[in-house]
Amino acid sequence: METIAIGLLLPFLGTLLGSAMVFFFKNQMHKRLEKLLLGFASGVMIAASIWSLIIPSLEMAETQSVIAWIPAAVGFLGGIFFLLLLDTLIPHLHLNTDQPEGLPSSLKNSTKMVLAITLHNIPEGMAVGVVFAGMLSQEGIVTLAGAFALSIGIMIQNFPEGAIVSLPLKTQGCSRLRAFAYGTLSGIVEPLGALLTMRLTAVLTPILPYLLSFAAGAMIYVVVEELIPEAQSGQHSNISTIGVGIGFVLMMILDVALG
């Protein structure tokens, strides 16, 4: 159980360390570096969705004598619409924009920015929880090394995300300590979501293929709706494209080598 606890907490550690960058940067992150890191996070999430979630979903469905593409397709679209619902309801403010999204709210812009990153982290927490549940299911599709590959990959991409949320908060007037606290709090949802998803899956093992692809759909929604548009806005969009390639290849290597 200690090993599983470490795996569930690794993504949160990435957010915490990234948020701590607010103590080392004097000003806001350079736009080119920001684009590179947003692209990197996108590449990691795309590769994780394929190798860590959709492919295991297909393989697990086959072992259950189910038409393999049905759980993958139904779960993937379910994840898309689940994040669409959250995106519509939760008031939040994306990076480099002044127009908030979600239901009208009197919340401060700094709070809305934290909610935007928290929204990103929900599918990542679900993804970690469901792969560890797949490992515990004893079906042999997801190995401990494979589960840790996803956890490590998300930890790596959470590092820049933590910095990207904490640094703008400082420039908006928050103290360094408060910006660090807000950035760290945005990552709390990951271990909590992972634990809840893992507990749910342990009770409902037959729906595991659906939950794997559900997490993949939710992650792809975040990439297409938020990360890539933010990374491609303005000049030097090719830098974010390079970041996508680096993140994709790194996550692919982690998953194939360890999984």
Q: How far apart are CA 255 and CA 57, in angstroms?
A: 15
Structure tokens at 51: 């190798």
Mean pLDDT of the chain: 86
Instruction: Yes or no: say if 153 and 89 are a contact pair by the CB < 8 Å rule.
Output: no
DSSP 30: P
Q: What does the pLDDT read at residue 138?
A: 65
Whether this prediction's pTM lies above 0.85 is answered by: yes
217 has a pLDDT exceeding 90: yes
In sequence order, what are the residues at sequence separation of 6 or more whose Cβ sits closer than 8 angstroms to the Cβ of residue 166?
Answer: 18, 19, 20, 21, 22, 179, 180, 182, 183
Q: What does the pLDDT read at residue 109?
A: 73
DSSP 204: -
**93-102, 135-144, 180-189, 194-203: which is most confident:** 180-189
Q: How far apart are CA 86 and CA 122, in angstroms?
A: 10
Q: What does the pLDDT read at residue 98?
A: 67
Q: How far apart are CA 107 and CA 249, in angstroms?
A: 39
Q: pLDDT tier at 259 (50, 70, 90 boundaries)?
A: low
Summarised one tens digit per residue, pLDDT across range 85-127 is 988 888 877 766 667 777 787 777 777 777 877 887 888 888 9
Burial class of residue 148, CB neighbours in 10 A (0-12, 13-18, 19+): buried
